[in-house]
Amino acid sequence: MASSKICVVVVSGTLERLQMAAMVASVAAVSGQEVLVFLSMNALPFFTRQSSLKAPHEGEMGRLIASKKVPEFKTLFEQAVELGDAKIYPCSMAMDVLAIGQGDLEGYLGEATGLTKFLDDARDGQVWTF
Domain boundaries, the chain: 5-123
pLDDT in the model for residue 1 = 42
CA neighbor of 19 nearest in space, from 78, 87, 94, 70: 70
Phi, psi for 114 (deg, rounded to 5): -90, 165
pLDDT in the model for residue 4 = 84
Residues counted in the chain: 130
Mean pLDDT value across the chain: 95
Q: Count H helices, E strands: the chain? A: 5, 4
Distance of CA 4 to the CA centre of its chain: 18
CATH entry 3.40.30.10 includes domain 5-123:
no
CA distance 92 to 90: 6
95-129 residue pLDDT tens: 999 999 999 999 999 999 999 999 999 999 999 99
List Cβ neighbours of 40 (8 Å cut-off, separation of 6 or more): 9, 10, 11, 90, 91, 93, 94, 115
